[in-house]
Amino acid sequence: MTRYAHADPAARRIIFWRHGRTEWNHAGLFQGQEDIDLDDTGRDQAARAAEILMARGPSSIISSDLRRAADTATALAERTGLPVSYDKRLRETDAGQWQGLSFAAIDEQFPDDNAAWRGGDPDVRAGGAENRLEVGERMLAAVTDAVARIAPAETLVVVSHGGSIRAALAALMGLPPARWGALAGLSNCHWSEVHEVVGRSDALFSWQLTEHNVGLGSLPAEPLEG
């Protein structure tokens, strides 16, 4: 289990783990809530990353119910013996009309909305469906429910998606929406870790980001949303 010199030994920890690669990731298609399987590379990524995360001593695993996240979570469950709890609130952004389109096609067909989305506008609805604030709210609710069930010094692993994890991190740490873009996206099968700041009850400083977008090291960056 990784320990940090500045961390309170009673602090709870949350690891946000993005799923492994899919064919749609590799092709540069916006997956959103389409239920796409891991490809062979993604399954290998999940197996290798699970070996690393197992050493962190996870206490609980929750996952999006979409197959690419659920199968990634299974790789860790098989190594730890922990059950996986599935929560629809951990799904990727519902991207409506954009789902299944390439990012180039989205830019061509929806130039204004896509420019606002890529610029970090928190109110723009991806493909006419969800906006980032709504994603952050449901992700935060799911994570808050799950972390309440773990004890001090325990670690929760949240298996989800690139866009929804970034929204969750921003919401959890109380970042103003205009600053959400300061968080880089996660590569496939990479993770970020936050530690509880023990003794602080205010939402803004209750959690501290200690690792971001770490993982297997040599993976290429794939499109964020998915």
Give the residue numbers marked as catalytic.
19, 92
The whole-angstrom separation of Cα 104 and Cα 108 is 6
The half-sphere exposure of 119 on its side-chain side, counting CA atoms within 13 A, is 10
Encoding tokens for residue 203?
Answer: 């939402």
Phi, psi dihedral angles at 176 (to 5 degrees): -65, 145
Amino acid residing at 135: V
CA 125 to chain centroid, in Å, comes to 19
The whole-angstrom separation of Cα 88 and Cα 27 is 25
